[in-house]
Amino acid sequence: MNKYPFPLGRFEKQLDRSTHYPARFGATFFITICCEARIANQLCREDIARVLFETGRCYHDTQKWYLKILLLMPDHLHMLVGIPGNADLANLLRDFKRVTATIARIHWQRNFFDHRSTAR
């Protein structure tokens, strides 16, 4: 008999990405977004990098997010971002991927990976 309030087996904690929850204010998110094909240098080319950096800066300048760092690897990127209280992280990243895919022809994987950090 299972004495735990969750099913036995693989158990993963999902981050609460809803619009309002107390821990999100002041939090920084560590984001990883991967390309569909993980074997080639897709992002570290000058033309592609320029689109990614300019789009990230545009989102920062318009206060869609607070970009602390954007690091490009050949087949994925990492970001540290804070988001305003009324923003939805999943929607912001969906739009960022859509815009950069359209402009730079990047083929992104469907989702993203995130970790929330409350250390400032």
Q: Residue 117: what pLDDT?
A: 60
Report if residue 48 sits inside a domain: yes
- All residues at 6 or more sequence positions from 100 whose CB lies less than 8 Å from its CB, including other chains: 51, 52, 55, 106, 108
* Token couple for 65: 């997010």
Compute the C-alpha angle 102/78/97, nearest 5°: 20
Q: pLDDT under 70 in the chain at which residues?
A: 1-26, 113-120
The CATH number linked to 44 is 3.30.70.1290
Q: Residue 86: what pLDDT?
A: 79
Q: Residue 114: what pLDDT?
A: 58
Residue 44 belongs to domain spanning: 22-117
Report if residue 84 sits inside a domain: yes
| Total domain count, the chain | 1
How far CA 36 is from CA of 32, 52, 75, 96, in Å, comes to 13, 16, 8, 16
Q: Do the beta carbons of residue 93 and residue 36 sit within 8 Å? A: no
Q: Residue 7: what pLDDT?
A: 53
Mean pLDDT estimate for the chain: 81
Report if residue 10 sits inside a domain: no
Q: Residue 12: what pLDDT?
A: 47
Report if residue 12 sits inside a domain: no
Q: What is the pLDDT of residues 16-38, one digit of tens each?
A: 545 444 445 668 889 999 999 87
